[in-house]
Amino acid sequence: MSAPFNIIEKAKQLRDELNYHSKKYYIDDDPEISDFEYDMKLRELSEIEAEYPELKTPDSPVQRIGSTPLEKFGIVKHLVPMMSLSNALNQGEFLDFHSRVVKKTGLHNIKYSIEPKFDGIAVTLIYENGIFIKAATRGDGQQGEDITENVKTIKTVPLRLEREINGIFEARGEVIISKKNFEILNTEREQEKEDPFANPRNAAGGSLRQLDSAITAARPLETYIYGVGQTPYQYESFAEMFDDLKSLGFRINDLHRFHLSCDEVWEVFIEYMKKREDLPYEIDGAVAKVNDFSLHEKLGYTSKAPRWAVAIKFPAQEETTMIRDIMVQVGRTGVLTPVAILEPVKISGAVIQRATLHNMDEIERKDIKIGDRVFVQRSGDVIPKIVKVVKSARTGNEKEFLMPETCPSCLEKIVKDKNQAAYRCVNASCPAQIKEKIRHFASKGAFDIDGFGEKIISQLVDKGLLREYSDIFVLEKDELSALERMGEKSAVNILKAIENSKNQSLDVLIYSLGIRHIGKQASEVIASVFKNMEDFMSAGEEELTAIDGIGIEAAKSIIEFFGNLANRKIIENLFAVNLKINNPEFSKEKKTASFSGKIFVVTGKTQGYKRADIEKIIRDTGGKFSKSISKKTDYLLAGENPGSKLKKAEELGIEIVDIDFLISRI
């Protein structure tokens, strides 16, 4: 039966759209639709071509893999094709895959391996007689881009294997940038007035596609190996192959699991999904493979993917939607934050209807307008954010957003900070500010009052029962019980939590006050210098700026805060409700002042030490910590994958040291 005209037109439309978006994703590193939307279009075209084989064309995305390599790099023909994987978007589709494996092999006790699916750039690494000779991207699966010189700069790629292997050995894996290094890289780019990368995958891809390998060398790229291409060995299983890859010196992910049943694979997939946000790198699913290599030949391949493996995808974390409107929220310091009201969109199982826009500078930088179609990203419980605008979708009916002239909460006139992007309400009695201040005071990291959340605080402020922090500690059971959805038992539990929160350290109290520019770390440093709250409140600018990490702006903010008699009264009222404030930081014995007055800057990753640990060692030995390189810097402590700070330090003639130098002088 020949295809109806409307089906022919639909197939053509889908092919054109998919080829366009494939180029935007693989070639330009500038996607306009999410992975999920692309997968849905590809599936629709695949179903049409399956029903009407005469509609298959050589340029159909269903028939090929990935992209055409960029012409500026040399071309490498793959020794063994780098095939993509078929997808399972839910448990039912994974069970369908398992059923096909069982049917094809005639075996019911199939064992699988499973591994995280990295959201990075697939590469192949070629070794000859144990020496690294070439690297290439996947490209279109048959040939890819020659990225040998760039890959040589990646420290996790062994240039010589741990044992000599006769002939060609080809390892395959993923090039990634960790979440932490991605944030550092984007911060540095913004400081250099360069556009930040949209996500770690784009950052890894952009770093690999540099003609100047020195630029790649400065980027914090990493590799994880998960397979082989051409090899002189005949492995019997993935378990054996991974053991051998590790012995050869390759970096292997430690979350691989082997010899699993179908049900166990799904259990591990759920485990990955739960761990996802805590992992140091981005993953977008898992890959399940038939563990026994002898079954691979029997299962065979489709034109683009092996029948013995499947990619199980997580629910999408990034989607496109439309901005319906932009409203303004008032924070605890009076800062007005624009928030996008979105056409509801489901991301990672949650319906997202809002995304922060941070400030007017951010809106102008990203050219965001009401009515725009945008990419929205959600990571764990972090507030969703708009990644970028799909400008090609604009109709001309979009509207520019203007910051209001009066506060939406108290209607007082707002002011623009001279040296910042912020617009601010300066009315200390603004209800929105009071709610946010008390929410911060009761939050984790501050007084951590269990059960005393945003909705309860909002009701208490609206009823006039909360005006300042001390009011929390004189609340009555009847007042709490009268709130919406609040019974007597819940009220009793909250009162217990309030009473238990009265015993706090000085750094927690300082942080809880919400002084501008004084975060958790700064509060800890301040508490190590001043014995009590009275000493801190009476400190002058010179004394404050002498503290490591406290600059002029922070010092002025502290002085301004305590110079306000209303704030001093608030603190006086807090102590009147019998708070017990201790200061263990001040009572600790200080180590020898080996680096008294010396200024350190830290860059790169140091094995076995967190950044906070290093900063504490520097402070405890009399040194000072700075975030940026200057002529005043005495030492740059450089770890693995140092950023642009290393080059600047070399230019300024600053002494470059490692963690051993620091530890040896404790």
Secondary structure percentages of the chain, helix, strand, coil, to 5: 40, 20, 40
271 contact partners, CB below 8 Å, separation of at least 6: none
Structure-block tokens of residue 645: 């700070």
Question: What is the Cα–Cα distance from 429 to 221, expressed in whole angstroms?
Answer: 50
Residue 219 CA to its chain's centroid (Å): 17
Name the token pair of 340: 């996008």
- Taking Cα atoms as reference points, which of 59, 58, 52, 38 lies closest to residue 10? 52
Q: Any idea what DSSP says for residue 634?
A: -
Q: Which of 41, 111, 117, 437 is catalytic?
A: 117
Amino acid identity at 15: R
> 117 an active-site residue?
yes
**Which two three-digit tokens encode residue 147?**
């990225």
User: By C-alpha distance, which of 613, 590, 610, 595 is closest to 657?
Assistant: 595
Please list, in sequence order, all residues whose beta carbon lies within 8 angstroms of the beta carbon of residue 171, skipping any fewer than 6 positions away. Answer: 124, 125, 127, 225, 227, 228, 229, 245, 248, 250
Question: Could you tell me if residue 549 is left (phi over 0), alpha (psi between -120 and 50 degrees) or otherwise beta?
Answer: left
What are the residues whose beta carbons fall under 8 Å from the beta carbon of 279, sequence distance 6 or more?
A: 116, 179
Strand 283-290 relative to strand 309-313, pairing: antiparallel
Rounded Cα gap, residues 462 and 517, in angstroms: 28
What residue has token string 């001309």? 396
Contacts of 6 (CB under 8 A, 6+ apart): none
CB neighbour list of residue 396: distance below 8 Å, 6 or more residues apart:
none
Which positions ≥6 away from 472 have C-beta within 8 Å?
A: 438, 441, 442, 449, 452, 466, 498
Q: How far apart are CA 466 and CA 441, in angstroms?
A: 12
Decide: residue 644, CB within 10 A, 0-12 exposed, 13-18 middle, 19+ buried. Answer: middle
- Torsion angle of the four alpha carbons 456, 457, 460, 463, in this order, in degrees rounded to the nearest 10: -110
Residues 6+ apart with CB under 8 A from 200: 119, 120, 176, 177, 178, 179, 182, 281, 282
What contacts 294, CB < 8 A, 6 or more positions away?
A: 236
Element spanning 213, H or E: helix 213-217
Helix or strand run (H / E) with residue 581: strand 580-582
Q: At what angle do helices 520-529 and 611-620 cross, to 10 degrees?
A: 20
Cα separation, 456 vs 358, whole angstroms: 26
Total length of the chain: 666
HSE of 125, CA atoms in CB hemisphere, 13 A: 30
- The residues annotated with a catalytic role in the active site are 117
